[in-house]
Amino acid sequence: MKNLTSRETQGVLVENRLDSRGKPGFAFRNPSSAIFYDWHAHPCHQITYAKRGTTQIEGPDGHHLLPTAHAIWIPAETRHRTMIRDLDGVSVYFDPAYFPHDHMAHIQTFPITTMLQEMLLHTVRWQPGSAEHDPIARSFFQTVDLLCLEQMQAKTARHFTLPRATHPSIVRAMEAALASPGQANLNWILRHAGMSERSFRRHFHGETGMTWQDWIAQARLFHAANLLAEGQRVTDVAAGVGYASLSAFAKAFTNLMGISPVRFRNL
CB within 8 Å of 221: residues ≥ 6 apart: 241, 252, 253, 256, 257
Beta strands in 22-79 (DSSP E): 25-29, 35-40, 45-59, 62-66, 70-74
Pick the CATH number of 2-154 from 2.60.120.280, 2.60.40.3880, 3.40.50.970, 1.10.3720.10: 2.60.120.280
Contact 107, 74 (CB under 8 A): yes
Contact 138, 123 (CB under 8 A): no
From 258, 262, 177, 261, select the one nearest 213 (Cα to Cα).
177
Question: Mean pLDDT of all residues in the chain?
Answer: 90
C-alpha neighbours within 13 Å on the C-beta side of residue 65: 24
Between 27-36, 86-95, 116-125, 193-202, the lowest mean confidence (pLDDT) is in: 27-36
Instruction: Give the predicted TM-score (pTM) of the model.
Output: 0.85
For position 109, what pLDDT does the model report?
Answer: 92
Cα–Cα separations (whole angstroms), residue 183 to 29, 81, 219, 241:
37, 26, 12, 8
The CATH code that applies to domain 165-266 is 1.10.10.60
Residues of the chain with CATH 2.60.120.280: 2-154
Q: Is cis: bond before 24, omega within 30 of 0?
A: yes
For the segment 18-48, what is each residue's pLDDT rounded down to a tens digit?
Answer: 888 888 999 988 876 778 999 999 999 999 9
For position 158, what pLDDT does the model report?
Answer: 67
Element holding 158 (H helix, E strand):
none
Q: How confident is the model at residue 8 (pLDDT cuts 50, 70, 90)?
A: very high
CB within 8 Å of 233: residues ≥ 6 apart: none
Work out whether the CA dihedral 191, 197, 201, 203 comes out positive or negative.
Answer: negative
Distance CA 88, CA 68 (A): 9
Averaged pLDDT for residues 90-99? 92
Angle at 85 between CA 129 and CA 33, to 5 degrees: 60
Residue 234 has pLDDT above 70, yes or no: yes
Residue 260 has pLDDT above 70, yes or no: yes
For position 7, what pLDDT does the model report?
Answer: 93
Averaged pLDDT for residues 70-77? 94
Residues of the chain with CATH 1.10.10.60: 165-266
pLDDT above 70 coverage of the chain, percent? 97
**Is residue 131 exposed (0-12), middle (13-18) or buried (19+ Cβ within 10 Å)?**
buried
Angle at 12 between CA 146 and CA 102, to 5 degrees: 30
Contact 35, 6 (CB under 8 A): no
For position 155, what pLDDT does the model report?
Answer: 62
